[in-house]
Structures are given as structure tokens and as C-alpha cells.
Amino acid sequence: MTLGEDVKERILKRRRYPLTQEKIWRRLSNDPKLKPFLYWTSPTLSNDVFQHGVGNCALVAALSSVSSKRQLLRNMFPTSTVSEYGVYRVRLCVDGEWKMILVDDWFPHRNDRGSNGFSMACSTNPFPDVRKRNLLGNHAFSVVDVGELGDAKYLRLRNSWGYNRVKFEEWSLCSPELADLLKMENVPTIAGSFFVEWKMFLKYFGQLSICRYRPHWSVLRVNMVIGGKWDDSQKNILIHVPRNCEMCVKVIDPNNKAKYRTWISIHRVDELDSNECGELLMCELIQESSRDISLTPGDYILMITELLGVKKESNVAIYTSIPISARICSWSPKLLIDVFQKAVGTFGREMRGYTRHDICIQKYTDNEDSFIVVMAENYTIDKYLHVHLRFAHPTPILFSRSDEDERFADVIPPRRRQILIVAYRSPVFDGKGFGMNVEYWVSKENKTKIGRSNRAEHVPFIRSDEYVHFTTVID
């Protein structure tokens, strides 16, 4: 018996697999049996929302946070009156696009267990270290407040159940000193809330989602093709900024929820039709949304791409503190190469021990070590620079080029530079760095090899759509 068959047999013995199809539909508005499943009746504050019998704690925690913003509720629900027919319109941003969705108040209900008729987004199995603190493992909470008292930073969280675990006090995750200070503040009581000192939050909570709700900002939305082999369907966005402003960019792929794969760059352009990279303000790997960036008056190119050779359509939203104008413009592999090489030169640093007067090896990474870009430059006139990279890291790494046992070898001709590798991993994994080993030398040989591979200029071979790794001339 295979492992999968064994697991399925054990589930079958519990009579919970496959899910039975026998269910009935009941109206939430007029069935007293469904009262325990009500989220809230008249939400005006985050503490008005209760999870009750609904199994999706992540949804309820999100609703709790949204309820503290009345304007958001007005935008989501065009009407606040109760429908006699139980039909309502809800305005939601789905995969980066605002859509009006028609919903009713009929809910599936099954007799075997109360929550099985609803989608389950989280598990109630506690992790060992979390259980010691009487916290719910893998459970979602809403953030009610954040603040500082003295040198201590804290958050106030709320359990959507409306109450906390047995033997769990409101101050259980605070130092005695901070607890005493908070008690002196005489903060109002909120059902199910508790305080967490920042250092305790980092220890026991694995994820924090922040919605940057800024109702006075402007937004431009566009659906565009990014990545893949260049066929002129890929485009950039030309932005005109009339005066100083803040901007952030959000990119969502509706067909693929994988994260840490989208690169965005912003550079200034002096001539609108120029294919040259001007002053580079940003070139980063983002998880859906970028950080805020300050822009002065002028014209900018926003480039959005991914380096895994996959062509896809994405929804792009550009948020700005003032109204701006934008239009689609041409994209080219040359500009992509120029942007990444300039990013390493601008934001990167020379690797200690791998730089001398005739060659230079630089790397560019972020503060979380979620990505690394390595570039080599050969200043010699008549010799070839050989560079071998080998990665050894316990967490999964994605590479911008196909790999052979996470090893790469390149030969850079005289007076040339090349991006050797772009690697990235999820920052949720513990540990720092990429465990990268670098070997280099110069010689008259124009080919190299790894292990039993054939001698070549690049191992593995650089495909025709892996533009970022093309060599360029050093001026």
C-alpha cells in the first residue's frame, strides 16, 4: 500500500472522505438555526465582528479589520438596507480588478458537523511552542492597535471568537513592566483582545498582512503581458509626474498565486522615446506590492518583468498620492539588461576577495536576503574571465536560468560584463544568505566546464529568452 492510499484509508474510516453531497440550503436572514453563523449585524467597529460557528478565521479577521474603516464599508456595500429577497451587491477588488458581485443570503448547511459546509482556510492544530502560551496555532487575528510605552513596542490583537483561551490573560504576552504600564492607561475593554509585546509577536506569530488604505490616493489600472520570449506584446509604462508625489505599484497574476517572482524597476527618462536607462530609483523583487517611493517632477519608465522565462498576463495597479498620467510604451531586451546591470552597479557592492584591478564581481541583495543578483566585469584586453558559482542552501531557491545541481559557470570575454545569476527565495524561511561559493580566474581559454559537462562559454547554456544574462560591452 502506498503512503497516499494509507492516508486515504484512514480518512475513510473516519467517514469524512469523500465529502458527502447531502446538504440543504438555508437563508441566513430568517432561519434561527443559522444565528450562530452571523458575522455581525451592524458593523461599525472591528470589535463588532464575531466568528461564532464560521470556520474561516482568516476571512473573519479581515472583516474585523475592514470594519474599522467606515468609508471602506460604504465602498464595498452600495446599499445598507436589508433586502427582502436576500440579494445584495458587493464591490470587491478581485485579483487587482474592482468587480460588482451579486450574492444572496442562502448558505449550505450539513447535519454531520457545523463547519463542514463552509470553506476552511486554517487549522486549529496548535504548534508546540504556541500551545505553551495558550494561543491558537495557525489561527488568524485582527490588529486593533499598535503603540509604544517607554522603550517597549506593543500590538493589541483581537480573537474573532470574542473571547480568549482558558488561563490566558490580556497581558500574558507582555513583560511585567509593560503590563503595569498598559494597566495604567485604562484602555477600553474589547471582547477577545489582548496585548502582545513586539519581541513576543515576532516569536509566536508567523505572518503579518498590512492593507495600506489611503482613500485620497489616485490609482491607475492596466492589464499587461510580462515575461517570456520577446514578441513585442511585452510593454513598459511611461509615467509623467507633474509635482512631487509618493507611488507604490501592485502586480497580481490572476492565474498563478506564486509569489516572490515579479520584478519592478523605475528609472528616469530625459527623452520620451529613449531606450536608455536613466537615473535608476528602484529595481526590486516584490511580493505583489512594492514599497512606497518618492518621485520628483519628470518622466519615468516603470518596467515590470519576471525572469523565469514564463509569459503571463498580470493586473497592474499604480497608486499615487496625486493624479498622474501614464501610457503604454515599448519594451526591449536591451533595456532589461541595462536596468539590471545598472541596479547592481548602483545598489550593489563589490564582493570582498573577488575584486582586483582587472576584474570585478559584485552582488546586489535586499535587507531580507530574499534575492541576490551577481554581476562580473572583465576589464582585461586579451584574457577571459572564468566564474563558477555553486549554491548550497537548505531552503528552495528559484534561479533566473536553468541549473545543474545549483551550479553555474560562465566565461566573460575581454572588456565585457554579464549578470551571472538572479536567485530568490521566500523570506519566510529562516536563515540569512544564499550559501553561495564563488571561484574565478583569468586565462586565454574561452570555454569552461562543470564536472562532466562539455566545454562551453556558459554552463548551463543561456537560452535565447534569458536576456538578462547576455554580455554587454564595457565602455
Please give the class, per CATH, of domain 348-473: mainly beta
CA separation for the pair 167, 173 (Å, rounded): 12
Please name which of 447, 349, 358, 433 lies closest in space to residue 397, comparing C-alpha atoms: 433
CA separation for the pair 286, 460 (Å, rounded): 27
The string of DSSP letters for 4-22 reads HHHHHHHHHHTT-SSPP--
CA separation for the pair 27, 34 (Å, rounded): 8
Q: For residues 453 and 445, is the Cβ–Cβ distance under 8 A?
A: no
Strand 235-241 to 298-305 pairing? antiparallel
Give me the pLDDT at residue 259, please: 54
Give me the pLDDT at residue 48, please: 56
pTM of the model: 0.73
Q: Which residues pair with 32 in a beta bridge?
A: none
CB contact burial 44-55 (16+ within 10 A = b; e otherwise): eebbbbbbbebb
Give domain limits for the chain.
22-109, 128-204, 218-340, 348-473
CA separation for the pair 414, 50 (Å, rounded): 67
Give me the pLDDT at residue 4, please: 41
Give me the pLDDT at residue 164, please: 59
Residues 6+ apart with CB under 8 A from 428: 206, 207
Give me the pLDDT at residue 363, please: 93
In tens digits, the chain (475 residues) has pLDDT values of 343 444 345 444 444 434 344 556 666 666 555 454 444 444 445 455 554 545 556 666 666 666 667 777 778 877 777 777 778 888 888 777 888 888 877 766 555 443 333 222 222 334 556 666 667 667 778 787 788 887 888 888 877 776 655 455 666 777 777 777 777 676 767 777 788 888 888 777 777 777 777 888 999 999 999 888 888 889 999 999 999 999 999 998 877 655 557 899 999 998 776 677 889 999 988 877 888 999 999 999 999 988 877 788 889 999 999 999 999 998 889 999 999 999 999 999 887 767 788 999 999 988 777 889 999 999 999 999 999 999 876 567 888 888 767 899 999 999 999 999 998 876 555 556 678 889 999 999 999 988 877 899 999 999 888 999 999 999 8
Give me the pLDDT at residue 114, please: 35
Q: Which residues are catalytic?
A: 57
Neighbour count for residue 462 (Cβ, 10 Å): 20
Please state the length of the chain: 475
Residue 12 CA to its chain's centroid (Å): 37
**Is domain 128-204 given the CATH code 3.90.70.10 in the classification?**
yes
C-alpha cell at 150: 517607554
Nearest-10 Cα torsion for 39, 41, 43, 45:
-80
Give me the pLDDT at residue 429, please: 55
Neighbour count for residue 107 (Cβ, 10 Å): 17
Give me the pLDDT at residue 12, please: 46
CATH of domain 218-340: 2.60.120.380
